[in-house]
Structure 1
Amino acid sequence: MDVRRAEARYPGGDAAAGVETRHAFSFGAHYDPGNLRFGALIACNEERLAPGAGFGEHPHSHTEIVTWVVAGELTHRDSAGHGTTVRPGDVQRLSSAGGVRHVERNDGTEPLVFVQMWLAPLDPGGDPSYEIVRGIADSTPYAVPEAGAMLHVRRLAPGERTAVPDAPHVYVHVVRGEVLLDGTELGPGDAARITDTKDTEAVGVTEVELLVWELA
């Protein structure tokens, strides 16, 4: 199990424009050849947007983009005609495939916090697609078959336990709270990269919210 602490993330964004980003993987000017990906996962960005701030229209291709809103509301628009507001508890996926452009903004009056995760597809190309699942439950895993991946949302009370999937690669990101993962305590923004997981469990220290990726 390889634990990466929140303070080790690469800083990014544009503070003057109200955008603060923390990257878990090699990104942009922060090139690290030893930290390019884990399984299919190639980015796990913590984003904070002030009211009125956002990312103007920009392109993506050959990437599965999954977004989890922590606080506030995210406005999404893309060149395929989709326009939605993503709220806490919703899972949003944009499959950029052969190419798509999109806009992400905080059009609300409160700060927006979200986690955005990028996965490499098994087969590049194809037509872009979009999906949003409102208020996903803990017991409902979210499949991204294009990347051979499954997202599990786990919300634990203090002392509550949950099994971590047995898989070749598992990535655990702590959204909020504190958790014991195989005996190691993790806090907000911390992550663990686990290879060949077997009989691993997470135990809530406080109330905690986890994003757990099961990666083939």
Structure 2
Amino acid sequence: MTDVRRAGERYRGGDPAAGISSLHAFSFGPHYDPDNLRFGAVIACNEERLAPGAGFDEHPHSHTEIVTWVVEGVLTHRDSTGHESLVRPGDVQRLSSAGGVRHVERNDGPDPLTFVQMWLAPLEPGGEASYEVVHGIADSTPYAVPEAAAMLHVRRLSAGERTAVPDAASVYVHVVRGEVRLDGEELRPGDAARITAAKDLEAEAVTAAELLLWEMA
């Protein structure tokens, strides 16, 4: 079964006066939707836009796997475990908040910053916080998040190119850019598909496109 959620249906958040614009795919913060709390391990998929100089001041997280994909611009990350990184398009950043960690996310560059941040629920709570960045991840190279029994697939497709959707109990597909055809539906930037019992499905790029696919047990 494929459940398509359109970009226009996302809950709008952030703080526009402070240069922060957010679009939330799931129940988040003051927007509580008991019928939209999670899909598989995914509990948040936020599209964040930060103006130059804007950002999220230090704030806490716990018991969450936080994976970030930069679309454009440069993200500055600092956390309470001592890590400080610049995250650019093509990099996969993961913060395992485990028993608790605090971090800062900012746009310290001169250009607008857009990133997609996805939160996954771990199989077990607690543990030690950890952090890593994979710079310039190659197309089709899976990125494993074993703590959540999940695998991220990044696909960059030219027009007319096809990619297999992983056969899995749950697959979450987010369109970063371009247009794709999936299971009879046309998906555009910001659209997502929640697929249950995925089997023998393909996504076809109508235009050049970039997709994030979460394969979950």
Asked whether the two chains share a fold, i.e. TM above 0.5, the reply is yes
**Partners of 2:139 and 2:165 in 1: how far apart?**
13
Displacement of 1:182 in angstroms is: 1.6
Shift of 1:78: 0.2
Name the aligned partner's letter for residue 20 of structure 2.
Answer: V
Structure 1 residue 176 corresponds to structure 2 residue 182: no
Distance in 2 between residues matched to 1:61 and 1:30, nearest whole Å: 20
| Cα distance between partner residues in 2 of 1:134 and 1:15 | 30
Residue by residue over 1:18-74, the C-alpha shift from the partner in whole angstroms, topping out at 9 and shown as x without a partner, is 000000000011100000000000000000000000000000000000000000000
**C-alpha deviation, 1:98, in angstroms:** 0.2
Q: Give the CA deviation at 1:181.
A: 0.7
**Count of residues paired in the alignment:** 216
Distance 1:5 1:71 in 2: 21
Map 1:27-176 to 2 at 5 A: 27-176=28-177
Are residue 196 (structure 1) and residue 197 (structure 2) matched?
A: yes
Q: Percent of aligned positions with the same letter in both sequences? A: 80
Q: Secondary structure at the match of 2:108?
A: coil
Pairwise CA RMSD = 0.4
Letter in 1 for 2:97: S
Please tell me the residue identity of whatever aligns with 2:113: L
In the TM superposition, residue 89 of structure 1 has moved relative to its aligned partner by 0.1
Gaps of 5+ in 2: none
What is the CA-CA distance between 1:183 and the residue it aligns to? Answer: 2.1
What SS is found at the alignment partner of 2:110?
coil
Name the amino acid aligned to 2:111. E
User: Which residue identity lines up with residue 60 of structure 1 in the other structure?
Assistant: H
State the alpha-carbon separation in 1 of the partners of residues 184 and 89 from structure 2: 29
Amino acid aligned to 1:105: R
Structure 1 match to 2:209 = 208
Determine if the alignment matches structure 1 residue 4 to structure 2 residue 38: no
Q: Residue type of the partner of 1:198?
A: K
Instruction: Determine the C-alpha separation between the residues in 1 that align with 2:186 and 2:93.
Output: 29
- Describe the SS at the equivalent of 1:26: coil
Instruction: Provide the rounded CA distance (Å) in 2 between the counterparts of 1:151 and 1:126.
Output: 22
TM-score, normalised by the number of residues in structure 1: 0.99
